[in-house]
Amino acid sequence: SIFQKAYLGYVQITNKNPGVLIIIDYSKPSNEERFYVLDLNKKS
């Protein structure tokens, strides 16, 4: 899934904002929602 690919990339790089994962799904057209910001530290 797109989340799995994004997370694997996240753990392989040095991130300036630890706990924040940003996903842009370019497989979707630009008129659909395709930008996601996930707070990995939030427990809900």
Give 1's pLDDT tier (boundaries 50, 70, 90): confident
25 phi/psi in degrees, rounded to 5: -95, 95
In this structure, which amino acid lies at residue 20?
V
Q: Select from 21, 13, 19 the least CA-distant residue to 38.
A: 21
Q: Residue 10: pLDDT above 80?
A: no
Compute the C-alpha angle 37/2/10, nearest 5°: 60
Higher pLDDT, 38 or 44: 38
Q: Residue 38: pLDDT above 90?
A: no
Compute the C-alpha angle 38/19/33, nearest 5°: 15
> Over the stretch 13-37, which tens digit does the pLDDT of each residue have?
755 667 888 888 999 999 999 999 9
pTM (2 d.p.): 0.55
Q: Residue 40: pLDDT above 80?
A: yes
